[in-house]
Amino acid sequence: MRPQTLDRVVAGDLTADITGVACMALATFDGLKAAAAAGRNLVIVLEDTWWSDNDDLQRLEGNSTYKAKRAFIREHNLVVARFGDHIADMKPNPVAMGMAQQLGWENYATDKNNPVHFVIPSTNLLALTQSLGRTLGSRTLRAVGDPRLPVSKVGVIWGNANQLPSIRLLNTDIDTLLVGYTHEWEAVMYCQDQVAVGMKKSLISLGQAAGEQAGVKYFAGWLKTIIDEVPVDYIPLAEPYWNLNQPTNLISTKI
């Protein structure tokens, strides 16, 4: 166990009888509905549930969506547990393993037990971006850099990419950095500036769920090997965003 962690039971009764386990990237209301419909009442997530890193509940007391989501959790006897920090500490890291698997990049990893640096067959930034969009189901992924840039060496920070680790990685041999999310005024700007001084660099921002949820699938697979008594499922989340290239909503509005 980590001495300091955000991992905990976020909602629900720990003594509840578990009918099944649903693993997903974030405990979205949509995701909870899917878990309940499948009869899985333990929900294991990488990230937060209440729309901030630390699930700051005090300021949400009167919020109608908070109340509706809470009521749904109670009514369906759900237990929501955040487990992202400890999943990240597992060896090998399920998120890294699962994302590499989903991309079909296991054999391109420099270190197969920690696949976070890849040498993929030569392509260019545009082709890579298109292929990632298809493989990861991200309709609104965004890239920084020259679309014609030759790309072969790829570094990744799945999920949230902080400023310094991103900058340090962009200064290694990689041609492109894949992230789930990173601030526009930090690593995005840094990469843009690298390009502006003639460095052959690029960055692709995938979106949080697309940029880590294949890792949740891998984790669910591992969990099945230690839990026989109840079913364990991976629940993929729909992308919340659309853009003007594909203006369709994928979020269920039925309660």
Positions 10 through 29 that interact with another protein (CB under 8 A): 26, 28-29
251 binds another protein (CB under 8 A): yes
Does 94 interact with another protein (rule: CB under 8 A)? no
Nearest distance from residue 127's CB to another protein, in Å? 9
- Which residue from 14, 64, 75, 228 is in contact with another protein, where contact means CB under 8 A? 64
Applying the rule CB under 8 A, the residues between 104 and 133 that interact with another protein are 126, 129-130, 133
What is the nearest approach in angstroms of another protein to the Cβ of residue 216? 13
Whole-angstrom distance, CA of residue 184 vs CA of residue 206: 13
Told to check if 223 binds another protein by CB under 8 A, we report no
CB nearer another protein, residue 112 or residue 147:
147
Per CB under 8 A, 214 contacts another protein? no
* Site for another protein contains 142 (CB under 8 A): yes
Whether 176 contacts 151, CB under 8 Å: yes
**Contact set for another protein, span 38-57 (CB under 8 A):** 47-48, 51-52, 56
What's the rounded Cα separation, in Å, for the pair 236 and 58? 30
Question: Whose Cβ is closer to another protein: residue 74's or residue 112's?
Answer: 74
3-state SS, one letter per residue, for 177-241: EEEEECCHHHHHHHHHHHHHCCCCCEEEECCCCCCCHHHHHHHHHHHHHHCCCCCEEECCCCCCC
Name the CA dihedral angle for 15, 50, 26, 134, rounded to a multiple of 10 degrees: 160
User: Cα Rg for the chain, rounded, in angstroms?
Assistant: 19
Question: To the nearest whole angstrom, how small is the minimum distance from the Cβ of residue 135 to another protein?
Answer: 12
User: Is position 141 an interface residue for another protein (rule: CB under 8 A)?
Assistant: yes
**Interface segment toward another protein; rule CB under 8 A; list 9-17, 101-109, 114-122, 157-165:** 157-165
Number of residues that bind another protein (CB under 8 A): 74
Bridge-based pairing state of the strands 79-82 and 42-45: parallel
Residues in 169-208 that interact with another protein by CB under 8 A: 171, 180-181, 183-199, 205, 207-208
User: Is the peptide bond between 147 and the residue preceding it cis, with omega within 30 degrees of 0?
Assistant: no
Are the CB atoms for 92 and 83 separated by under 8 Å? no
